[in-house]
Amino acid sequence: MTRGRVALLGLVIVATLAVAAAVAPLLPLGSPTEISKDHALRAPTAAEPFGRDDLGRSVLSRVIHAYRVSLGVAVSAALLALLVGGVLGLVAGYAEGIADQLIMRPLDVLMAFPAILLAIALMSVFGTGALLVSIALAIVYTPVVARVVRAAVVATKIEVYVDGARALGATAPRLLLTHIVPNAATPVLVQASVLMAIGILIEAALSFLGVGVRPPTPSLGLMLADGRGFMLQAPWMVVFPGLAIMLAVLGFNMLADGLRDWLDPQRPSR
Amino acid sequence: MASSWVYAARRLLLAVPLLLGMSVLIFGLMRLVPGDPALAVLGYKATPEGVRALRETFHLDEPIARQYVRWLAGAVHGDLGIDYRQNEPIGRMILDRLPITLELTVLATLAAALIGIPLGLLGGGRRGGAADRAALVLGLVGISIPDFWLGIMLILGIPLGLGVLPSGGFVPLGEGVLDNLQHLVLPALTLAISRAAVLGRLTRAAVLDVVQRGFVQFARAKGLGERAVLVRHVLPNAAIPIVTVLGLQAGYMLGGAIVVEMIFTLPGVGRMTLDAVLERNYPVVQSTVLVIGAMFMLVNLLTDILYGLIDPRVRRR
């Protein structure tokens, strides 16, 4: 399979999941939150392919609805980090000197923690909720984005065409927007895709640990945490939410891999 | 050799401000918690006397800067204060649990190296072949598996399904090596799989990168066998990025240990951190996060220094 096709397949997976999540309430799935004791722990059937949970709720419906939180958190966290980290990286890379130090050294401190540990520490202060998870993830990502953007800016601004534009009298904002930002876009695009993959994993992990999304919002991590108690009677309660997380993460990782090789033909990994 | 010591010393010096920054961040973060920390720690057991005693013990009435200096001075001497719930010194509690987390991390790092590096060599050595394609798919799937789910699946399949290996708990190394290892096999594997996938992908890329170089083509041209080329010329050069990433992965496993220790009910520092977060026991959270963060930094620092030792080009920068 060529890398182009890997990227395309990744894109198809991500887009399909995103569309399904977006139109979830319109799909003929049944309610993700309606409790029906009569159906508790029903095994998968043709009509209910993922089975039902301990409260009789449809696992398929809950998985599709949970993607709303999963993808919503992953995408909004990445966008927020791109915005904040992008601006910080641009300024640090373009200005260098003291401004660079003032921006990058505090960000180094954030990067000095393992991502999941920093996210847990932030959530312990923030409390639970999907929006707070997005903000915590954006804080964890900001230094990563800032570093990538800064490196791209530092590499680009010494190019001859940037010198040329400057000699012709281009102002700093104009240089940044028309010459430097477009060249930083490639690594940032790949990074964004990787961050969304990691975001889905971390959101699920936080919710699984009880410091992420608050019940009864359907979340893949919360579903796994609930399902653990019924692992033997109802393995479908843990198998399908986990596969669902993996599929979304796989989609974003394939997209990132494909983009990386497509945009950088020098890399040897094709 | 002298230059590598200078390099190591410089890296060590740079670590000091970073560690200070980390302590400021953690301390500041825990002070952002809404409400009275004394009330949060005591929870429903709070009495006016209890709150007053706690405020005094933690010096909560002093200015924040002084509280910080007091905490830092204590931490430097290994005194992290008292856990109000367990009535035990926090430093002691961490020391009791640290060996478990460290053993788990070391075993998982070994497992990741033993699985990931051969996988990458297999792929990179015969690019485009069936083994390479299989390794690529495995790597992509491996980095996409949530480790906490993998842990649950392993428990479901092996202790509950096959009836072998314990599904949780811990036996200290001193009470029986075999028993100890049996309790750590599944947690270490859980932690290792996604890291092995990262390592496999990187090893493959590193091998492919080196194979293209002139000296490898020259070695082939002079009639050296494929195996000799791989062992004598490709591996030593590919080793540099591999060692770096292995070090980084070992550091990340310290964070991953939080999740794995929870699933396999291992009484390590990760588990202690999570319990403290869920109980809103902020003095403990603050200490364990600092300790895990400092260890993460130490592992990264050692990796950097090792990198400088095996690759003389790094030192000259």
State percent of chain B over pLDDT 90: 39
Q: Give how far A241 is from chain B: nearest CA, Å.
A: 9
Of A108, A117, A253, nearest to B293 by CB-CB distance is A117
The model's confidence at residue A172, banded by pLDDT at 50, 70 and 90, is: confident
- With 60 as the cut, is the pLDDT of residue A270 above it? no
Best residue in A109, A214, A240 for a mutation probing chain B (most B CBs within 10 Å)? A109
Q: Does B255 touch chain A (CB under 8 A)?
A: yes
Which among A111, A109, A75, A107 has a CA at the least distance from the CA of A91?
A: A107
Give me the residue label for tokens 């005094």: B56
The model's confidence at residue A129, banded by pLDDT at 50, 70 and 90, is: very high
Q: Once rounded to an integer, what is the mean pLDDT over residues B131-141?
A: 87
Who contacts A81 (Cβ-Cβ below 8 Å, separation ≥6)? A137, A138, A141, A142, A144, A145, A195
Q: Once rounded to an integer, what is the mean pLDDT over residues B19-32?
A: 91
Asked if A120 lies within 8 A of B273 by C-beta distance, the reply is: yes
**What interhelical angle do A115-126 and B235-263 show, nearest 10?**
30
Which residues of chain B are within 8 Å of residue A231 when distances are taken between CB atoms? 152, 155-156, 160
Which among B113, B149, B77, B137 has a CA at the least distance from the CA of B239?
A: B113
Which among A120, A225, A133, A139 has a CA at the least distance from the CA of B278?
A: A120
Of B205, B212, B255, nearest to A117 by CB-CB distance is B255
- With 50 as the cut, is the pLDDT of residue A166 above it? yes
Which residues of chain A are within 8 Å of residue B30 when distances are taken between CB atoms? 125
Domain residue extents for chain B: 94-316
Question: Roughly how many angstroms between the first and final C-alpha of chain B, as a whole number?
Answer: 16
Q: Once rounded to an integer, what is the mean pLDDT over residues B50-55?
A: 80
Q: Once rounded to an integer, what is the mean pLDDT over residues B181-185?
A: 94
Q: Give how far A270 is from chain B: nearest CA, Å.
A: 9
Q: Give how far B95 is from chain A: nearest CA, Å.
A: 19
Of B33, B149, B296, nearest to A224 by CB-CB distance is B149
For residue B89, give the DSSP letter: E
CATH of domain B94-316: 1.10.3720.10
Q: Does B28 touch chain A (CB under 8 A)?
A: no
Who contacts B54 (Cβ-Cβ below 8 Å, separation ≥6)? B38, B41, B42, B60, B84
Q: Does A250 touch chain B (CB under 8 A)?
A: yes
Asked if A109 lies within 8 A of B22 by C-beta distance, the reply is: yes
What pLDDT is stored for residue A28 in this prediction?
80
Q: What is the pLDDT of residues B5-19, one digit of tens each?
A: 788 888 888 889 999
ipTM: 0.89
